[in-house]
Amino acid sequence: MEDLAKEELFSQIEEHLKCSEQSWLLGAGISFDAKLPLMYPLTNKVKKDLENKHEELFNDIVVPLFNELPLECHIEHVLSHLGDYAALAERNKEKKTTINGKEIELSRLEDIHYAILESISNVIRCGYVEDKDGNTVEEGTLSEPIVDIEAHLNFINMLFNHASAGVYERRKTVNIFTTNYDTLLEDALALNKVPYWDGFAGGAVAHRTQRYGEPIPLNGQRANVIKMHGSIDWFLCEKGYVWRVRDNDRYPEVNRRVLIYPQATKYVATQQDPFSAQFDLFRKTLNSNSSNVLAVCGYSFGDEHINNEIEFALSKEENKTVLIAFLECRDQTLPNCIEKWRNSSFGRRVIIASLHGLYVGNEGPFTRKDGDDYWWTFKGVTSILENGCEV
């Protein structure tokens, strides 16, 4: 391809990221530099915690669940599986179910469910780093966390205070969807003095007001933070209300069950189910008839629920959403859904910025320069917002 045409393709990314109607989908990869583990290291750490603190429950329930699931499963898959068994036990007149030939009471399923959520929350609050062999390299504690917010601060600063220069007056509120449990995005927005809405009303202690089907309120905020998989500071009380509570607070009276997706359905009242409401907002955002951009970073397209929503929106004839995905693809293998989408009828609206270069629809990769290219990382995306693609 001629250099001029090639430069035009790269400049498209810059123009799309200036779109007045844009949303971001951010996954675990954006928190890697913050010393928070990706899903598989997180799974390893949770297993270690459970084995040390809840050995009997770990051996009777967690180990058999991992054995039943595919080798590539992680802790969210185990939580889903655990929820299914809890639902079976709930319907059983004796409140029991059978796992690996052994009867397990519902109360024990709930105990290990709580223990898993507690472990996840502590890891995310404290920070954890391990090497490729699963050995602990660095681990924070509640009194001395190692979590680093710098990358998030820079991204939010570039997105709202730099990249929006000249387009602020016409840019709509930016929707930030995330599958992460941590609070780094909210903290970075606050520290950059960017007003945002997250579905809660109140201050440091707040109650969830957003319900399924309701639109996002227009209160002059510049960002909406929609946490698809819950958060380490979301808690559920016995009445079914969802609270955002600081870690050490002893009020309001919640049962300290962290609200992290997936949950057994009995834990959340239908009209107050935050996960259904979050996905509803995602669906409505993607189904836009005007120029609309969904930029993706740190997400490896491993959640079929999210992928299905994206595919459904892109496949609609009247939809104008453009997908820009920043992906590593170290072995030049794109996720199956991405391969399908870029070779489909809407393929020209699928743009992939990867380690090996740029894909536009079924064309590419087109490289920017010789050697490694890290524009697909969270810091790389921040650099693009500041400096452009620098072909």
pLDDT of 269:
45
Identify whether 247 is part of a domain: no
* Same domain, residue pair 180 and 106: no
Mark whether 84 and 207 lie in a shared domain: no
Q: What is the pLDDT along the chain (391 residues), one digit of tens a residue?
A: 555 566 778 888 888 888 889 999 999 999 999 999 999 999 999 999 999 999 999 999 999 999 999 998 999 889 989 988 998 999 999 999 999 899 999 999 999 998 999 999 999 999 999 998 989 999 999 999 999 999 999 999 999 987 555 555 557 899 999 999 999 999 999 999 999 999 999 988 999 999 888 999 998 999 999 999 999 999 887 777 888 988 777 777 656 567 777 654 444 444 457 888 999 999 999 987 777 899 999 999 988 989 999 999 999 988 889 999 999 877 778 999 999 999 999 999 999 999 888 999 998 888 876 545 688 999 999 999 998 876 4
Q: Specify whether 283 is located in the same domain as 379.
A: yes
Claim to verify: residue 31 and residue 107 sit in the same structural domain: no
Does 225 reside within a domain? yes
Query: Which of 108, 139, 170 marks a domain boundary?
Result: 139
Residues 75 and 189 in one domain: no
Residues 359 and 281 in one domain: yes
In a domain, 123, yes or no: yes
Domain boundary among 86, 108, 139: 139
Q: Does 45 lie in the same domain as 115?
A: yes
CB 29 within 8 A of CB 300: yes
**Res 264: pLDDT:** 45
Domains in the chain: how many in total?
Answer: 2
pLDDT value for 274: 85
Residue 251 lies in a domain: no
Is residue 290 domain-shared with residue 170, that is, in the same domain? Answer: yes
Note down the domain range covering 117.
39-139
Note the pLDDT of residue 367.
82
**Residue 258, in any domain of the structure:** no
Q: Are residues 301 and 383 in the same domain?
A: yes
Claim: this prediction has a pTM higher than 0.75: yes
pLDDT at site 165: 52
Q: Let me know: does 375 contact 383? Beta carbons within 8 Å.
A: yes
Pick the last residue of a domain from 115, 139, 163.
139
Residue 260, pLDDT score: 76
The answer to the question of residue 286 being in a domain is yes
In a domain, 254, yes or no: no
- pLDDT of amino acid 270: 44
As beta bridge partners, residue 363 has 360
Residues 69 and 170 occupy one common structural domain: no
* Co-location of 18 and 89 in the same domain: no
Instruction: Tell me the CATH number at 165.
Output: 3.40.50
pLDDT for the residue numbered 255: 62
In this predicted structure, what is the pLDDT of residue 168?
A: 52
Shared domain for 274 and 315, answered yes or no, is: yes
pLDDT of amino acid 318: 87
Instruction: Indicate whether 9 belongs to any domain.
Output: yes
